[in-house]
């Protein structure tokens, strides 16, 4: 998206001194846990104005604020306070925060401020409620899709040794620095929260820098957040005003999230600390988003109507100041006129331009008069590049004032919707000039390949809509444009009413796009959380990998205690902070002490792994945890979470399966599949030697073999995963099961948690018959 710097303001404005004298307040910044004002320094604060009336709102400046101290504060205090919270604990804070902002009192206050940016109630709904929705979604996804832990295990375990004594595991740990977030002016609340939420969930403190023209709304939102008292110290800081030179302060520990112009993004990308210093940078920039009307979607079809409605929505919502707005309306040459007429008619019927505080207004002004001038310049460039105005004009529009009267309002930032038409679909301007306001251009395509080519001429976009109900058309268009787009929406009669819309990023799906769109990705659920973490490949023995990941691996034995179960990631960064360095003597002590503990760990691991190997011959319940001397031969189902350890296991007796058993099971369940009931047919099957036991019989019997029937801490088996039947079981075979605690996830707000058990079924020849995970709920005490 395009932004302009406050410096480009051309009309004379009152001086900061005059405004201060007139009672216009100076926006504060929230740094190092305190609200701070800029010093009276060399840089004058910049005034901001009500978008509809032109009245001054606030002065914005950061002169004298100590950005380096803020970065340090985030890296130390912020990292430490967030590091003590698990993903679930952070997620619950996000939920409480969302509820706080969602209260009538807080929200109505934000809506009032939002109106001063030119936002209608509907626009504020997208910005304010949309931002709160992001918090709710990340809270929910954080608890459902992440472990109640400090790091994220990525992908399957990799075994790298024949004997299983060495393996690998990818793991995401949070970055040890700060998330520096530079936002655009158009969504002062959503824009902040959509970056803050995933960073917070990852455990990384944010420094937020809003765009100046609407910084007063971001400040109001941060004030509401701070007042809630919900956030851990140092997890959120706000800089109102310039952050000139901030990249000089950052290094390989930190990441920057930027939404704004491609030119600014290129400056950031070219900074030495990004090019070679290791600062992570995610950009979301200009995007000439397209909407393509399929050849089947002729006038009169539901797709045509939905397409036209979408174009009008994207032109007028937020006065077209959305990175995701449709800029290029790509339609069959033959229906260009029909589309233009329909869009114009719908605007005439639906759109009332005016002060958002007036009754009946459906489209507000741009955010500032500078932006209005900028959009006009862009439209002039489009006209010079071959476009013609097909609807609307650049004249000063008549608008509904706050008091309901209708007149021109030159002091406001009003602009009429403008639809352009390019008869030359290949004109460079239409694919390169983004008029960041209520402006779109119609171009015609010859055939589907031409439509794909034109859409991709955007050089990478955030989103495109394909409106068609023809499967082949949809396939051709979507597959052709997907590699150039972050998001593609297929609009048809089935989803026209329920679609979340072309212009609305949803927190569940990635928001961003390749090339001109900045090459970044935001949102997308947990994907964005990982942007604030770093993936490392860990290699080691099963015991070490179990301790580091909190997921038990075969051969690991029993973990000594839960503190090793991934919990070591709770505050990794503090280890590199000199202030928390343990002393030399501590290290020496550890070194001495570790000799004993090392031996004990090693012996535990090898004992357990021996037990596990040797378990073939064992009968009855053997608990390798016995090797630690802590729990004897106690059945692991008798251990509440407080005592259960990764690696606690039961190795069952063997049970022989007869042909009668198989026949009986077939009869009882109704599963008379021939492999279980017809010897000859079963033998003809490429996978079976003859009649075999049902897979369901095997896992049912396995449950009978491992279960401990009396009431106890295990409350329920709520599911099963990754079941594979590896060796058929014939009559006369005997099966036994080994069940081992693999992952332990206490729930934050319940007195129980989830335990995942590794189940392995063997036959009497020690062949693996089946493997799976059993999912249970287990009491904490």
Does position 722 bind a second copy by CB under 8 A?
Answer: yes
Q: By C-beta, is 344 or 572 nearer to a second copy?
A: 572
Handedness of CA 370, 376, 380, 383 (dihedral sign): positive
Question: Any residues with CB less than 8 A from the CB of 152 and at least 6 apart, and which?
Answer: 146, 171, 172, 526, 529, 530, 533
Q: How far is the CB of 606 from a second copy (least distance, A)?
A: 7
Q: By C-beta, is 120 or 169 nearer to a second copy?
A: 169
Q: How far is the CB of 159 from a second copy (least distance, A)?
A: 9
**Which member of 20, 53, 140, 536 binds a second copy (CB under 8 A)?**
536
Judge residue 388's burial from the number of C-beta atoms within 10 Å of its C-beta, 0-12 exposed, 13-18 middle, 19 or more buried. exposed
**Interaction residues for a second copy, span 199-258 (CB under 8 A):** 251-253
**Which member of 230, 389, 723, 734 binds a second copy (CB under 8 A)?**
723
Contact 282/532 with Cβ under 8 angstroms?
Answer: no
DSSP 258: E
Does position 659 bind a second copy by CB under 8 A?
Answer: no
Q: Which helix (H) or strand (E) holds 463?
A: strand 461-467
Does position 654 bind a second copy by CB under 8 A?
Answer: no
Q: By C-beta, is 347 or 425 nearer to a second copy?
A: 425
Q: How far is the CB of 145 from a second copy (least distance, A)?
A: 8
Owner of token pair 């005592």: 643
Neighbours of 90 (CB within 10 A): 24
Handedness of CA 505, 507, 508, 513 (dihedral sign): positive
From the candidates 37, 194, 284, 754, give the one annotated as an active-site residue.
284
Q: How far is the CB of 538 from a second copy (least distance, A)?
A: 6
**Interaction residues for a second copy, span 581-640 (CB under 8 A):** 581-584, 586-588, 590-591, 594-595, 597-598, 601-602, 605-606
SS3 string of 129-186? Answer: HHHHHHHHHHHHHHHHHCCCCCCEEEEEEEECCCCCCCEEEEEEEECCCCEEEECCCC
Does position 552 bind a second copy by CB under 8 A?
Answer: no
| End-to-end Cα distance, the chain | 54
Nearest of 746, 755, 742, 745 to residue 716 by alpha carbon: 755
CA angle 547, 566, 205 (to 5 degrees): 150
**Which member of 21, 103, 393, 576 binds a second copy (CB under 8 A)?**
576
**Which member of 13, 81, 269, 621 binds a second copy (CB under 8 A)?**
269
From the candidates 32, 194, 323, 374, give the one annotated as an active-site residue.
323
Nearest of 709, 707, 718, 720 to residue 770 by alpha carbon: 720
Does the annotation count 284 as an active-site position? Answer: yes
SS3 string of 472-498? Answer: HHHHHHHHHHHHHEEEEEEECCCCCCC
| Calpha distance 247→479 (Å, rounded) | 38
Tokens of 583: 């002393």
**Which member of 96, 230, 309, 703 binds a second copy (CB under 8 A)?**
703
Does position 674 bind a second copy by CB under 8 A?
Answer: yes
Q: How far is the CB of 593 from a second copy (least distance, A)?
A: 8
Stretch that binds a second copy, among 23-31, 59-67, 401-409, 562-570 (CB under 8 A): 562-570
**Interaction residues for a second copy, span 486-525 (CB under 8 A):** 486-495, 497-500, 506, 508-510, 514-516, 519, 521, 524-525
**Which member of 14, 33, 704, 732 binds a second copy (CB under 8 A)?**
704
Stretch that binds a second copy, among 306-314, 360-368, 628-636, 667-675 (CB under 8 A): 667-675
Q: By C-beta, is 120 or 573 nearer to a second copy?
A: 573
Owner of token pair 């009169």: 300
Does position 74 bind a second copy by CB under 8 A?
Answer: no
* Site size for a second copy (CB under 8 A): 172
DSSP 214: G
**Which member of 192, 649, 697, 739 binds a second copy (CB under 8 A)?**
697
**Which member of 116, 485, 531, 736 binds a second copy (CB under 8 A)?**
485
Q: How far is the CB of 368 from a second copy (least distance, A)?
A: 26
In which region does residue 534 sit, left (phi positive, over 0), alpha (psi from -120 to 50) or beta (all else)? Answer: beta
**Which member of 229, 670, 749, 781 binds a second copy (CB under 8 A)?**
670
Q: By C-beta, is 239 or 430 nearer to a second copy?
A: 430
Does position 427 bind a second copy by CB under 8 A?
Answer: no
Neighbours of 576 (CB within 10 A): 12
Which sequence positions are flagged as catalytic?
284, 323
């Amino acid at each position: 998206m395009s932004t302009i710097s406050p410096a480009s303001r051309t009309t004379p404005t009152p001086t900061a001194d005059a405004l201060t004298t007139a009672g216009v307040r100076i926006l504060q910044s929230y740094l190092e846990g305190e609200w701070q004002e800029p010093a009276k320094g060399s840089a004058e604060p910049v005034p901001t104005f009500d978008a509809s009336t032109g009245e001054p709102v606030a002065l914005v400046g950061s002169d004298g604020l100590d950005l380096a101290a803020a970065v340090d504060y985030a890296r130390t205090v912020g990292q430490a306070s967030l590091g003590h919270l698990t993903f679930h604990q952070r997620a619950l804070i996000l939920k409480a925060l969302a509820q706080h902002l969602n209260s009538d009192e807080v929200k109505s206050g934000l809506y009032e401020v939002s109106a001063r940016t030119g936002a209608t109630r509907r626009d504020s709904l997208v910005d304010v409620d949309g931002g709160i929705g992001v918090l709710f979604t990340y809270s929910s996804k954080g608890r459902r899709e992440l472990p109640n832990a400090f790091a994220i295990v990525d992908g399957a375990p990799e075994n790298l040794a024949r004997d299983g004594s060495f393996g690998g595991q990818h793991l995401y740990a949070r970055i040890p620095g700060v998330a520096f977030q530079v936002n655009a002016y158009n969504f002062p609340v959503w824009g902040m929260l959509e970056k803050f939420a995933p960073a917070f969930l990852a455990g990384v403190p944010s420094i937020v820098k809003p765009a100046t023209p609407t910084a007063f709304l971001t400040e109001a939102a941060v004030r509401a957040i701070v007042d809630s008292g919900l956030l851990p110290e140092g997890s959120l800081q706000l800089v109102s005003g310039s952050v000139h030179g901030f990249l000089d302060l950052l290094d390989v520990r930190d990441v920057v999230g930027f939404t704004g112009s491609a030119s600014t993004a290129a400056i950031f990308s070219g900074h030495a600390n990004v090019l070679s210093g290791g600062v992570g940078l995610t950009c979301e920039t200009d995007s000439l988003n397209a909407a393509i009307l399929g050849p089947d979607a002729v006038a009169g079809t539901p797709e045509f109507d939905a397409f036209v409605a979408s174009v009008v929505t994207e032109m007028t919502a937020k006065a077209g100041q959305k990175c995701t707005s449709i800029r290029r309306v790509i339609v069959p040459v033959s229906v260009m006129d029909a589309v233009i007429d329909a869009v114009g008619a719908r605007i005439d019927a639906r759109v009332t331009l005016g002060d958002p505080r007036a009754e009946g207004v459906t489209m507000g002004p741009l955010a500032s008069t500078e932006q209005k001038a900028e959009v006009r310049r862009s439209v002039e460039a489009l006209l010079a590049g071959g476009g013609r105005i097909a609807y609307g004009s650049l004249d000063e529009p008549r608008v509904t004032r706050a008091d309901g009267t209708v007149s021109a309002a030159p002091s406001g930032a009003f602009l009429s919707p403008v639809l352009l038409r390019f008869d030359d679909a290949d004109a460079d301007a239409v694919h390169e000039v983004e008029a960041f306001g209520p402006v779109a251009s119609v171009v015609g395509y010859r055939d589907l390949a031409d439509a794909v080519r034109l859409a991709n001429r955007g050089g990478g976009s955030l989103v495109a809509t394909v409106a068609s109900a023809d499967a082949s058309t949809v396939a051709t268009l979507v597959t052709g444009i997907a590699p150039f787009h972050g998001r593609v929406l297929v609009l048809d009669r089935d989803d026209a009413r329920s679609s979340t819309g072309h212009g609305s990023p949803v927190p569940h799906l990635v928001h961003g796009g390749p090339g001109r769109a900045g090459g970044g990705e935001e949102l997308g659920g947990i994907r964005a959380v990982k942007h604030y973490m770093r993936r490392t490949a860990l290699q080691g023995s099963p015991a070490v990998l179990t301790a580091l990941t909190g997921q038990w691996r075969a051969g690991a034995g029993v973990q000594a205690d839960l503190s090793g179960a991934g919990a070591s990631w709770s505050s990794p960064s503090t280890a590199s902070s000199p202030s928390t360095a343990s002393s030399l003597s501590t290290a020496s002590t550890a070194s001495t002490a570790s000799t004993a503990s090392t031996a004990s760990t090693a012996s535990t691991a090898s004992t357990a792994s021996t037990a596990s190997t040797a378990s073939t011959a064992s009968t009855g319940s053997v608990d390798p945890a016995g090797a630690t001397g802590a729990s004897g031969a106690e059945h692991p189902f008798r251990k509440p979470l407080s005592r259960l350890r990764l690696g606690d296991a039961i190795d069952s007796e063997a049970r022989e399966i007869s042909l009668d058993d198989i026949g009986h099971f077939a009869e009882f369940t109704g599963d008379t599949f021939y492999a279980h009931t017809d010897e000859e047919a079963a033998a003809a099957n490429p996978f079976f030697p003859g009649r075999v036991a049902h897979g369901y019989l095997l896992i049912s019997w396995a449950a009978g073999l491992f279960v401990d029937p009396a009431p106890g801490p295990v409350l329920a088996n709520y599911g099963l995963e990754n079941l594979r039947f590896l060796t058929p079981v014939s009559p006369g075979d005997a099966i036994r099961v080994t069940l081992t605690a693999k992952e332990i996830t206490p729930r934050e707000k319940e007195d129980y948690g989830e335990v995942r058990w590794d189940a392995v079924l063997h036959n009497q020849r020690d062949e693996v018959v089946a493997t799976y995970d059993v999912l249970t709920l287990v009491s904490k005490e």
